[in-house]
Chains A and B, each alone.
Chain A
Amino acid sequence: MPKHNVAVVGIGQTKFRSKRRDVNIPEMIYEAVKMALDDAQMEPKDVDAILIGNMDHFEGINFSEMWCGIDAAPGYLKPVVKIATGGTTGSSLGICGYYNVASGIYKNILVVGWEKLNEGGATTGIITAFDPVWERPSLAGALGPLALMANIYAARYGITSEQAAKVTVKNRSNAANNPFAHIQMPDITLEDVMNSQMISYPLRLHDCCPQSEGACAVIYANEEETKKITDNPAWFKGVSTAHYYTFGCDDLMFDLPTAAIASKKIYKKLGIKDPVKDLDVAEIYEPTSWSELSWTESLGFCGKGEGGKLLDEGITQMTGELPVNPSGGVLSTNPIGATALVRFAEAAIQVMGRGGKRQIPDVETAMGMGFGGSLWTELAILGKDPKPLR
């Protein structure tokens, strides 16, 4: 049991873009951190500790917490810890931040995730994250295995390319309402997606997430601190993590076992019986359009093979019973080390009612998901209060 309830009290994110050549890494991190501090009306001196994360090999750097985390994060004279867990880097940051405050170690903490993907190459960087002997020689970064997954998923359940393309249309239409989202295609059509270049069969260009540059910073506080900072926080109700075996090929990635295990655990803990009814919005980690269809199944939003039907029925649309990715999701914005933290931040924004044009009305409970690492899933459920639903 947590000793303290934990709330999100400040959020900052840069406007994500393909390239931020106008700034170096610390300059980019500073933008998000300054926004979060201003949002919480805090000064660096008010912050107890810093968690910072990215995937260094994507930029070909190392030990970046030293030269990016001290001045800009702001870690000067404070505890600074670096977290790097692949695609889940942002959610690992988000969950570790929660543990640090919930346990009573710190009364508040600032977490910041970032990536500057066009300074290196995501595919090359991802290959170096895998076993040098067994996996590197044929691995094509994340998209090759995700294409295999899409292909198997389609064959197993008769999911069509058109159903997958509808996910991109939904998410990128949503991104047009999000001033921070990278890909802006407000008039995107099904044909745009289905006629885009074949990247790795059956994935077309617009079935895939982009490579983005940017940073996201979130400030957490315990109950006592939160009262001093804001009367509109987003409270953590719970977090959940599940890891899987060693190699990328140890699972087929549809019917994602870690998503099923992590979600069952957190739903049970919070008394969630039907996530579609009990959650008001979900920000899930969908590196491809096909992943969203499949993983809404794994998260229990519908039965196996029904991800396409869930979308077709409009349930995951902005006006549906459980809108998924009103921010535009990973399909619109993917600064890897920040991506999953953006999911948590966007869930908090929805709870706070600060989503502007992407706001879902009357959000009481929101879920954020991270995916990555070795096929693993991390979840956080936030709400207007820290209590379980039942």
Chain B
Amino acid sequence: MGKKEKEFQIKWKTDLPYRYSIGKLAVKYFEELKNKKIMGSKCPKCDKRYMPPRAVCANCFIEMTVEDMIEFSPKGTLVGFTVVNYPFIDPNTGGMRPFPYGYGIFKLDGADTYMMHFVDETDHTKFKIGQRVEAVFKEKTEGDIYDIPYFRLIKEEEE
């Protein structure tokens, strides 16, 4: 193209609010989260324990009800980690997601599936696969997803 072409731009800003039905299991999850309990779902047929909870066990195609929900330990094992170090707009807030942030995939004690969440560590050399982690609750829980703002790495000497 060689020389810089003139750009014609039209700018506007859009605000697009949505409201989601979160489902019966999530209602129970958030009610119990307020009591600082972590609830997942359990398949009545194959006994697979899901965290995050969900309505159907894909393998069995069986509904997992609120009655089938079980409590998990807030502690678990770090399976993998990264430190996210790039800018992007967070669709949940409409603003930039603050970075860098620690991000891990864990298996809570008693769960058969993995979950991902923030970790309060941004130095990747401080993480070790297989180390223990723990969900940190806000002091005053409100029954929303940010009641656990992040997981923390449990230091070996604490164990």
Contact = CB atoms under 8 A, between A and B. Distances in A.
A binds B: yes
B136 interface: no
Interface residues of A, number: 40
A199 B5 contact: no
A152 to B, nearest CB: 4
Contact of B81 (A133, A148, A252): A148
A118 interface: no
A147 B97 CA distance: 18
Interface string A159-188: 000000000000000000000000000000
Contacts of B58: 245-246
Q: Which of A132, A133, A138, A152 has the most CB of B within 10 A?
A: A138
Interface string A195-234: 0001111110000000000000000000000000000000
A127 B92 CA distance: 9
A44 interface: no
B145 A151 contact: no
A252 B79 contact: yes
Contact of A144 (B26, B52, B91, B103): B103
Contacts, number: 110
A132 B22 CA distance: 9
Interface string A13-27: 000000001100000
A200 B86 contact: yes
Interface string A131-145: 011111111110111
A200 B84 contact: yes
Contacts of B145: 133, 137
A147 B105 contact: no
A149 interface: yes
B113 interface: yes
B82 A141 contact: no
Contacts of B104: 148
B42 interface: no
Q: Which of A132, A145, A201, A246 has the most CB of B within 10 A?
A: A201
Given A145-B105, A148-B116, 4 more contacts: A21-B7, A134-B26, A148-B103, A246-B58
7 contacts: A22-B5, A121-B88, A124-B91, A135-B116, A137-B145, A143-B84, A144-B103
Interface of A: 21-22, 60, 121, 123-124, 127-128, 132-141, 143-145, 147-149, 151-152, 155, 198-203, 245-250, 252
Interface of B: 5, 7, 14, 18, 20, 22, 26, 52, 54, 58, 79-86, 88-92, 97, 103-105, 113-118, 124, 129, 145-146
Q: What are the 5 tightest A-B residue pairs by CB atom distance, in nearest-first order?
A: A147-B82, A123-B88, A152-B80, A148-B80, A201-B124
